Amino acid sequence: MLQKNTIAPDFTLYATPDQKIKLSEFKGKNVILAFYPADWSPVCSDQMALYNETLKFFHKYDAEIFGISVDSKWCHLAFSESRNLHFPLLADFEPKGDVANKYGVYDEEEGECKRALFVINKDGIIEWSYLSPTAINPGADGILEALENLNTK
Amino acid sequence: MSLKPSVNSKDHVQGNANADLVIVEYGDYQCPYCGAAYPVLKALMKEFGSQVKFVFRNFPLSEMHEYARIAAIAAEAANLQGKFWEMYDAIYENQSYLDEDFLLELAEKLDLNISQFKNDLEKTELADKVDADFESGILSGVNGTPSFFVNDKKFDGSAMDLLELIRANAS
């Protein structure tokens, strides 16, 4: 898993069925990458649903968040609509898990992303990373603490 | 992960305010898992209310649950008339009927002063209180609802796990 002070590998992934997002286009902003195993985990303790509620806290730190899983863009679309999500879910679908692999957070056995968080600074450098046990939603406190640390530098 | 801030005078408390065992629930009035936890917490307080200080903080998942936030504000408005826990109970006991009109019905059933209640629903202080609770939850590591803290430490389990733990420790 990539650690602090590593250059965040660039990638281009589908965010919607007809739109791609390129990480390097977000230089000048802080970026949070939230790799997660799969869409459609149980409601109320769902990690993406939680981040959907904490967007305004992330924006306070001039940070954008992207969820990333190996689900397809169509699956993401349906999931995103059903949960009313207001941030992009990226499809690490083809080649499968390629981006997760580059970040060192691909679970070969399950064929899914591990549950991992990265905070990337405005220059595209990883400032904080965290690997959560797959079954446990890590919440948002670690991300906010990492963003707070960026700000006080 | 620990609770930030600790339980304080702004919190809603029931049970024994001086108890050594302090349980904090972060909950959403529209969340079905919180609804399922409600009777378990009731049983817990019935059995151990004299030994437990129970605190509720708001954690409405507003994007997922249309009425979670207004329900949280309604309970805070009931609090201004001294009936926080009555409203908390009434909402969880009738969770499937929850909407704005139903909150007014509950306010009437609880004999609240309705014009004051309606006014209070619009108060920014109440919305701010709900937001402050939510933010404290986020900073404390709440990752879904309901989330529990036992003596300021996050408890990774359900209301039933909590009840069983307390029973085990009591016997």
- CATH code for position B144: 3.40.30.10
Whether the Cβ atoms of residue A90 and residue A22 lie closer than 8 Å to each other: no
Instruction: Give a yes or no: residue B115 inside a domain.
Output: yes
A77 falls in which pLDDT band (50, 70, 90)?
very high
pLDDT at A153: 66
The residue type at B143: N
Instruction: Write down the pLDDT at residue B34.
Output: 97
Task: Report yes or no on A138 lying in a domain.
Answer: yes
> Rounded to whole angstroms, how far apart are CA atoms B37 and B23?
14
* Any domain includes B21: yes
- Structural domain contains residue B129: yes
In a domain, B77, yes or no: yes
Residue A43 confidence (pLDDT) above 70: no
Instruction: Supply φ then ψ for residue B21, to 5 degrees.
Output: -95, 115
> Is the Cβ of A150 closer than 8 Å to some Cβ of chain B?
no
Model confidence at B170, in pLDDT bands (50, 70, 90)? confident
pLDDT value at residue A41? 79
SS3 B119: helix
* Inside any domain, residue A81: yes
Model's pTM, two decimal places?
0.93
With a cut of 90, say whether residue B171 has pLDDT above it. no
Give the pLDDT of residue B45. Answer: 98
* Residue B5 belongs to a domain: no
Q: Which of A50, A54, A84 sits opposite B144 (nearest CB)?
A: A50
Average pLDDT of span A136-141: 94
Owning domain of residue A83: 12-151
Nearest to A45 among B62, B138, B144 (CB): B144
The range of the structural domain enclosing residue B55 comes to 12-170
Taking Cα atoms as reference points, which of B147, B103, B144 lies closest to residue B126?
Answer: B103
- Look at chain A and report how many structural domains it folds into: 1
Q: Is residue A3 part of a domain?
A: no
Residues in a beta bridge with B23:
B54, B150
A43 CB neighbours in chain B (<8 A) are 32, 64
Residue A67: which CATH number?
A: 3.40.30.10
Q: What is the pLDDT of residues B101-133, one digit of tens each?
A: 999 999 999 999 999 999 999 999 999 999 999
Per-residue pLDDT at B29 exceeds 90? yes
The arithmetic mean of pLDDT across residues B148-158, rounded, is: 95
- Any domain includes A69: yes
Does A7 reside within a domain?
A: no
Q: In whole angstroms, give the CA distance from residue B119 to residue A76.
A: 41
For residue B1, the chain A residue with the least C-alpha distance is A141
Q: Measured between CA atoms, how close is A9 to chain B, in angstroms? A: 28
Q: Please state, rounded to an integer, the average pLDDT across all residues of chain B.
A: 96
Q: With CB atoms and an 8 Å threshold, state whether B31 touches A144.
A: no
Residue B63 has its nearest CB partner, among A45, A53, A140, at A53
Mean pLDDT of A97-109: 98
Say whether pLDDT at A52 is over 90: yes
- The model's confidence at residue A42, banded by pLDDT at 50, 70 and 90, is confident
* Domain assignment of residue A5, yes or no: no
Count of structural domains within chain B: 1
What is the percent of chain B where pLDDT is above 70? 100
What number of C-beta contacts closer than 8 Å exist between A and B? 58
Asked if the structure places residue A1 within a domain, the reply is no
Q: Decide if A116 is inside a domain.
A: yes
The mean pLDDT value for A53-74 works out to 97
CA closest to B27 among chain A residues: A44
**Among A36-50, A77-91, B32-46, B144-158, where is mean pLDDT lowest?**
A36-50
